[in-house]
Amino acid sequence: MISALIKTMRPRQWTKNGFVFFALMFDKQLFLREPFLRTLAGFALFCLASSAVYLINDIADVEADRKHPEKKHRPIASGKLPLKAAWLAAILLVAVALPGHAPGQRAHQDQVCQHGQRNGAPPAGGAGRDELVAIVVGVHAVA
């Protein structure tokens, strides 16, 4: 069941979350320990959030997937991953990913926004981590 869960979490798609490292590269902080570790944590949280979306999507589409010639082999549609286990995993992933941030994260977000504004980006207008997570989760749902 663990391998079915991991397959449903679609780790091959996690490479999309690597975009969070671009900010470090452009800001020339990629090789600084603290910013790198903070960004690595953000990458991990995005991976958990996107995996939750994949689980919820497969749960919602289970009946249609069972009738599809290729998708019927997906773990939830085929019964290799029970619906209850998929729901539990999705809830746990959301519970970890959304509130999961390190102490001082808000200060780091403010620094990132200030750096972006100094370099021509528009003001954030109060947009915070939750809005960013919602955008990323939405992008993964569409992708």
Taking only the tens place, the pLDDT of each residue in 96-108 is 888 765 445 555 5
Backbone CA torsion sign across 95, 61, 131, 11: positive
Tokens of 12: 């091959």
Q: Which carries the bigger pLDDT value, residue 119 or residue 99?
A: 99
DSSP-derived letter for residue 88 is H
Q: What are phi and psi of 61, to 5 degrees?
A: -100, 10
Q: Which carries the bigger pLDDT value, residue 40 or residue 135?
A: 40
| pLDDT cut 90: percent of the chain above it | 44
The per-residue pLDDT for 102 is 47
The per-residue pLDDT for 100 is 63
Q: Is 2 helix (H, G, I), strand (E, B) or coil?
A: helix
Q: Which position has the token pair 């082999």?
A: 73
Q: Which carries the bigger pLDDT value, residue 108 or residue 92?
A: 92
Helical axes 105-118 vs 129-142, angle rounded to 10°: 80
Q: Is 10 helix (H, G, I), strand (E, B) or coil?
A: coil
- The answer to whether 63 touches 78, Cβ cutoff 8 Å, is no
The per-residue pLDDT for 126 is 45
Side chain identity at 24, as an amino acid letter?
L
pTM of the model: 0.67
Query: Cα 85 vs. chain centroid, distance in angstroms?
Result: 20
